Structure 1
């Protein structure tokens, strides 16, 4: 196993990157209720766990080091590129930043943040008018904000998988699903038949392809 200069122990980068993504998401999500804060807190924990392993301490690399060293004897486990485990496991050559998975991750991240900002704009104005949000992304799916968070999480998992974030991901999916169901019960109580008609024609998470 070859050792170049370690790409870890860069705790300033952990703090800066975590703060950027958390504050950016916060600026659109605007948590107000305890439920909102739990949702945003779980997302923030995922982001922090991700960047801690990306720039701070590579826990996943450490735990898998024996297996990786046996299977990939020439792999420099202390280099930043080695953290892109999908590229290693798929046998990709060259800089992983230009691999298909990494490019796909940028697409998911970009669209996720775009969807989050678009959904928040519609929801904000609907809340100001005390009406049901049914335009923009809400015309295609009932919970675009939660879908946006999932796309962002997937984007990060595509480029930098870790054992902790892979374990957290299904938990977050379950959390967002339960929150969506809870919100729908509240909307049902508030808007009655108007919400029923909206729910009958608008999918919860996955839009109709023919629309």
Structure 2
């Protein structure tokens, strides 16, 4: 079983793609505090791990090669397109870039970046005015920016699952939840009952089907 020429070992593509997505996230998220930089740094580590296996060295495919080759002998598992594991495992016959999981990943990644961008503007305006952010995405979620990061991570995972990113994913989600809880305690100390009323109305990460718009405290 041999690899297709230039399927991997493309370290320049690892660097370029990692830099593009990290800078893209930086332009959307615009970190200001040390906590913001930690959340962006964790996202960056996930992205580097992802593109390292996508273009550099396919560790997951090597680890699973024995089982994959036995179960799916018709697939060249060291071809670059075989890294789209979900399309391959479900028997997608056409170009995996047009497969259902790949298209779903684009929707999740695009939606995540959109949510982060819209939320940042609302939060920045509220912080300048010294009030709680309760409009836009914050009328439906208390932490839309962290939810946006989770959507992006989920999209990458659906598009190109690897053992390392699968291991990192729950840790990153836990980290974002933890950071959100810290921010909530700080907001409660600052805004008191106004924030508690807001938190009682608006879910943290997943919007309710029927949610009354939060009024400005």
Q: How far 1:74 moved relative to its partner? A: 2.5
Q: What residue in structure 1 maps to residue 158 of structure 2?
A: 158
How many residues align? The count is: 211
Aligned positions of 1:20-99 closer than 5 A: 20-99=20-99
Q: Please say which of residues 51-60 and 123-132 is displaced more in the overlay.
A: 123-132
Change (3 A) 1:179 1:106: same
Change (3 A) 1:87 1:206: same
SS class of match (2:198): helix
Q: How far 1:146 moved relative to its partner? A: 0.4
User: Any unmatched runs of 5+ in structure 1?
Assistant: none
Q: How far 1:181 moved relative to its partner? A: 0.7
**Runs of 4+ deviating beyond 4 Å:** none
- Distance (whole Å) between structure 2 residues aligned to residue 138 and residue 44 of structure 1: 25
Q: Please say which of residues 115-124 and 61-70 is displaced more in the overlay.
A: 61-70
- Contact 1:5 1:78 (8 Å CA) reproduced: no
Q: How far 1:140 moved relative to its partner? A: 0.4
- Distance (whole Å) between structure 2 residues aligned to residue 92 and residue 77 of structure 1: 14
Q: How far 1:3 moved relative to its partner? A: 4.5
Establish whether residue 209 from structure 1 lines up as the match of residue 215 from structure 2: no
Establish whether residue 168 from structure 1 lines up as the match of residue 136 from structure 2: no
Aligned positions of 1:102-141 closer than 5 A: 102-141=102-141
Q: How far 1:182 moved relative to its partner? A: 0.6
- Contact 1:29 1:120 (8 Å CA) reproduced: yes
- Distance (whole Å) between structure 2 residues aligned to residue 138 and residue 5 of structure 1: 49
Question: CA-atom RMSD, angstroms?
Answer: 1.2
- Contact 1:141 1:202 (8 Å CA) reproduced: yes
Q: How far 1:2 moved relative to its partner? A: 6.2
